[in-house]
Amino acid sequence: MPPDQRPRPDRPRLSLPRRLVLTLLLVAVGGGLYAFGPFDRQSGSAQLASDVAPMRQPVVVADVAVKPMAVEISTIGRVQTIKSVGVRSRISGVIASVAVRDGQDVKAGDPLFSLDDREARSQLHLAGATLARSRIALEDARRDLKRVNTLVEKNVSSGQQRDQQQAIVDGLQAQMRESEASIERAKIQLSYTVIEAPIGGRIGTVNGTPGSSIDANGAAPLVTINQLSPLYVSFSVPQRYMTELQDALAAGPLTVLATVPGSTEAPHQGRVAFIENAIDATTNMLPVRALFENAEIRLWPAQFVTVVLTLRTEPEAIVVPANAVQTDQEGNFVFVVNAESAVDVRRVVVKRTIAGEAVVDGDLRAGEQVVTRGQLRLQAGTAVEIKRPAGAAGKPSNAS
């Protein structure tokens, strides 16, 4: 029998349950491949993107400005009165009345105290009576001199008698001038019984009371008067500013602002009155005094104040926020965002800081952006992403 016509053995056939299990297994494997395929593709894409574009550091920036900025000196000063007088009595006596109270404002010439004036008035009356007696005696002596001159002309009397009578007249004239001087002295003494304010200002504690006995020029003043308007604020500036200060004074008045520590009031404005004629050899500081009108009496003698002296205005100063300036071993620098959204390191020299703004020297141009927040994660060439400050809205802000 030919081989192709030989009977073939029967192949084993799968039962229906086995077919169902195999079908379900194939479906499960196919679903798994379908589910994990996109994940693997996405992971590979993300890894590739990470290798190509490094993560950008979020930062806040501000614009570099070129604008006029004042050249200022900030220091501490003390308020001083221009005039301060401790009032004392010129004569000894008893206080009859007190015309003022503690803390009162007075004007020059206002009465402060009155002393018992009875003795001074009696001295004035006595001097007046002496003057009247001297005047009568002088008139009588002049009449006698006139009669003697007539007798001498008639050769009835000698020239010696005339000379004697002339001496009597001269003596009485001197006595009369003495009496007049005694009257003036008595008037002066009487005026001392009323103690007046020598200057205008505000008085302190009144130490005298009616009935108190006081001595002439006593050790303790009866009252002290301080002039409160205008007054001085005294402060000192370093010696290195002396030439610039003198030049600024020659150009015109210099403005000085004084602020009371802890006060919410606006600074008080004054002007430089003068600079001392010598530098303090101990501190190498130049003492300066500024004049303040103090019309509202807000500054007080011996008070400490913060002083800002404006020397001049720099017309084109390079200005950045003070928190943009960083420091390392080489000095100060700022991070500048370049056109590739990475940062460059620019060295700067801080000249002064005013109200949160730093005036610097360096290779900076107006409109460039410096980093004001996020510098700790940066170095030269770090890619950055500009963020808005917290609370800002709309377009990313250029101010920190």
User: By residue range, what is the domain housing residue 185?
Assistant: 118-191
Residue 152 lies in a domain: yes
Which residue, 295, 288, 241, is CA-closest to 268?
A: 295
| Structure token digits, residue 207 | 């130490």
The model carries a pTM of 0.64
Residue 36 lies in a domain: no
The CATH number of whichever domain residue 177 belongs to comes to 1.10.287
- What integer pLDDT is reported at residue 395 of this predicted model? 45
Residue 320 lies in a domain: yes
- What integer pLDDT is reported at residue 15 of this predicted model? 52
Count the helices and strands in the chain (H runs, E runs). 4, 21
User: Based on the domain organization, do 125 and 64 belong to the same domain?
Assistant: no
Residue 368 lies in a domain: yes
Q: Under a CB-based contact definition with an 8 Å cutoff, are residues 58 and 396 in contact? A: no
Contacts within 8 Å (CB) and 24+ apart, 179-188: 179/127, 179/130, 179/131, 179/133, 179/134, 180/131, 182/126, 182/127, 182/130, 182/131, 183/124, 183/127, 183/128, 183/131, 185/127, 186/120, 186/123, 186/124, 186/126, 186/127, 187/124
Name the domain boundary from 171, 191, 211: 191
- Check whether the bond before 230 is cis (ω within 30° of 0): yes
- What is the torsional sign of CA 118, 121, 127, 133? negative
CB within 8 Å of 288: residues ≥ 6 apart: 234, 235, 236, 237, 245, 272, 274, 275, 276, 309
Q: Under a CB-based contact definition with an 8 Å cutoff, are residues 91 and 216 in contact? A: yes
- What is the torsional sign of CA 362, 363, 369, 372? negative
| Structure token digits, residue 60 | 């806040």
Name the domain boundary from 191, 225, 240: 191
The CATH number of whichever domain residue 358 belongs to comes to 2.40.420.20
Residue 359 lies in a domain: yes
Residue 147 lies in a domain: yes
Name the domain boundary from 191, 211, 237: 191
Mean pLDDT by runs of 10 across the 400 residues of the chain is 50 54 58 49 48 77 93 93 94 95 95 94 92 89 83 76 84 89 93 95 93 90 95 95 91 93 92 94 94 94 94 91 93 94 94 89 93 92 85 46
Which residue, 290, 258, 260, 251, is CA-closest to 274?
A: 290
Residue 159 lies in a domain: yes
Residue 35 lies in a domain: no
Instruction: Give the number of domains in the chain.
Output: 2
Question: Cα(144)–Cα(138) distance, rounded to whole angstroms?
Answer: 10
